[in-house]
Amino acid sequence: MNFSMNIGPIVALIAGILILLVPRLLNYIVAVYLIVIGLIGLFGTSGMRI
């Protein structure tokens, strides 16, 4: 059985939950999210499969 999942939606879900729990961290969470999505876009997800 081969199970793979993209990391983008997982990062978005975690970021959304953190924003709901700690609204003061909004700027940092958005910045980290954008950096992670940018890195995934540049390098692809070939090595990041679950």
With respect to residue 24, please indicate whether it lies within any of the assigned structural domains: yes
With respect to residue 2, please indicate whether it lies within any of the assigned structural domains: no
pTM for the model stands at 0.54
With respect to residue 20, please indicate whether it lies within any of the assigned structural domains: yes
Q: How many domains does the chain contain in total?
A: 1
Domain extent for 26: 7-43
> Tokens 């999505």 label which residue?
37
pLDDT tens per residue, range 4-49: 567 778 877 888 888 888 888 888 888 888 888 888 788 876 555 5
Which residue stretches of the chain are H helix? 7-21, 26-43
